[in-house]
């Protein structure tokens, strides 16, 4: 079975499941697709007791796909650029400082809180795991997933000011989270060797600032090229080239590709660039192209997440750890946001219950699963992959299905945007 056939099957499943969701369930795409895929996989499990042909075919597809590489090295750049392109830059600019603190300090604090609580809980249920591996898990599970967040918040009716904070944070904190994960991963892999603090700081600075500067340069370069012409077809291709070559350069020089794509997307999507470099026709085609690509990749991604349950190692103690991890992660996120929200709410217009909505609306998704798949056996890969899957499923199905209800209950009278 070649890669074109696998891709064709995934697109076919995405189209069929997407149709079923829009036609009957009418849920946000990320929730509906994942739910249908999980039900589909469970049905195949049941059928396999009589005939395992479909089960073997689905297992083969999953084993042929390197989910981590596909998501982090290929899909993520397109998805983040598309999300940033359609984000209101002016509102983001006003809320830039709380968003910066949420996506940096918030991720770090959450990582250590999750690690500490998980270390204690795992010890209590007699699963011995070194603290450094709990830190690695904390880093992969703390960032919220912009892919899941963007799709669900659009339908939840969250006040615009609050939506900007959640979306802005999710666009940046996954880049920071991936960098933190890679740093802790390297420290865990070298646990028997010495690693200097300056090395860690240098790595973080290079990833973060290199990614942002690369994104600014590519966004500016695209703007200059687009300003000189008026051809919507070529201008769409220019934006596509930014993402593809930008990802290649970032990977080559060990910059953060996610931060580069977010930065270039925000720059190209600003009102000034749109008015100065794009005609109305170009702007319409650029937006529609990236919206379609965003929907296509999102659809495939959440079908894959649902199918990834086939690679899990099922164990009663792992399930207990996963169930206990859900409140730990929610509590850690709430606490990590508490200080920044308290500090900034007097200076900026924060709507009531900001922390509660940001905690419940901060969904985990494919990025966490991709990072968990990259763990080594020494880092308790099977345990943390299972726990991550439980958290992601609860996050997308449990939190995703109820965040709109929570928002309507909290904001019966809609606050001023």
CATH at 116? 1.20.1530.20
Q: 53 lies in a domain?
A: no
pLDDT at 147: 72
Domain count, the chain: 1
CA distance 84 to 167: 9
CA distance 119 to 158: 35
Q: 337 lies in a domain?
A: yes
pLDDT tens string for the chain (417 positions)? 588 999 999 999 999 999 999 999 998 888 899 999 999 999 999 999 999 999 999 988 998 998 989 999 899 999 999 989 988 888 888 888 999 999 999 999 999 999 999 999 999 999 999 999 999 999 999 999 877 777 677 677 778 888 888 888 988 988 889 889 988 998 888 765 556 667 777 878 889 899 999 999 999 999 999 999 999 999 999 999 999 999 999 999 989 999 999 999 999 999 999 999 999 999 999 999 999 999 899 899 999 999 999 889 888 999 999 999 999 999 999 999 999 999 988 777 788 899 999 999 999 989 999 999 999 999 999 999 999 999 999 999 999 999 888 988 888 744 444
pTM for the full model?
0.91
Q: 313 lies in a domain?
A: no
Q: 379 lies in a domain?
A: yes
Q: 390 lies in a domain?
A: yes
Q: Which backbone phi and psi does 196 adopt, to 5 degrees? A: -85, 150
Q: 230 lies in a domain?
A: yes
Structural domain boundaries enclosing 296: 67-302+330-410
What is the pLDDT of the chain when averaged over all its residues? 90
Q: 61 lies in a domain?
A: no
Q: 26 lies in a domain?
A: no
């Amino acid at each position: 079975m070649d890669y074109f056939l696998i891709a064709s099957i995934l697109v076919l499943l995405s189209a069929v499941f997407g149709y079923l969701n829009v036609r009957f369930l009418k849920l946000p795409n990320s929730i509906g697709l994942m739910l249908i895929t999980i039900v589909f996989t469970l049905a195949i499990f049941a059928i396999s007791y009589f005939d395992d042909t479909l089960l073997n075919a689905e297992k083969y597809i999953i084993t042929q796909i390197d989910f981590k590489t596909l998501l982090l090295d290929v899909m993520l750049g397109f998805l983040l650029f598309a999300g940033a392109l359609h984000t209101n830059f002016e509102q983001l600019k006003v809320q830039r400082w709380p968003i910066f603190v949420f996506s940096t300090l918030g991720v770090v604090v959450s990582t250590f809180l999750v690690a500490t609580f998980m270390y204690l809980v795992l010890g209590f249920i007699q699963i011995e795991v070194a603290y450094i591996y709990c830190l690695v898990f904390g880093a992969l599970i703390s960032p919220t997933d912009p892919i899941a967040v963007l799709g669900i918040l659009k339908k939840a009716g969250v006040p615009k000011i609050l939506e900007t904070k959640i979306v802005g944070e999710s666009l940046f904190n996954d880049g920071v989270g991936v960098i933190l994960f890679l740093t802790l991963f390297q420290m865990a892999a070298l646990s028997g060797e010495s690693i200097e603090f300056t090395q860690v700081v240098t790595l973080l600075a290079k990833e973060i600032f290199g990614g942002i500067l690369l994104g600014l340069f590519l966004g500016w370069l695209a703007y200059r090229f687009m300003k000189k012409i008026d051809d919507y077809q070529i201008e769409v291709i220019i934006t596509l080239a930014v993402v593809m070559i930008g990802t290649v350069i970032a990977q080559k020089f060990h910059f953060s590709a996610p931060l580069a794509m977010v930065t270039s997307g925000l720059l190209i999507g600003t009102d000034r660039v749109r008015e100065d470099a794009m005609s109305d026709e170009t702007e319409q085609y650029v937006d529609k192209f990236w919206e379609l690509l965003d929907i296509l990749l999102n659809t495939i991604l959440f079908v894959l997440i649902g199918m990834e349950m086939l690679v899990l190692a099922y164990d009663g103690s792992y399930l207990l750890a996963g169930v206990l991890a859900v409140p730990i992660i929610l509590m850690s996120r709430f606490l990590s946001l508490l200080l920044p929200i308290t500090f900034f709410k007097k200076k900026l217009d924060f709507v009531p219950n900001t922390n509660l909505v940001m905690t419940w609306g901060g969904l985990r998704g494919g990025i966490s699963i991709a990072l968990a798949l990259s763990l080594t056996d020494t880092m308790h890969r099977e345990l943390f992959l299972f726990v991550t899957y439980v958290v992601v499923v609860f996050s997308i199905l449990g939190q995703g299905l109820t965040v709109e209800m929570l928002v309507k209950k909290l904001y019966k009278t809609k606050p001023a945007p």
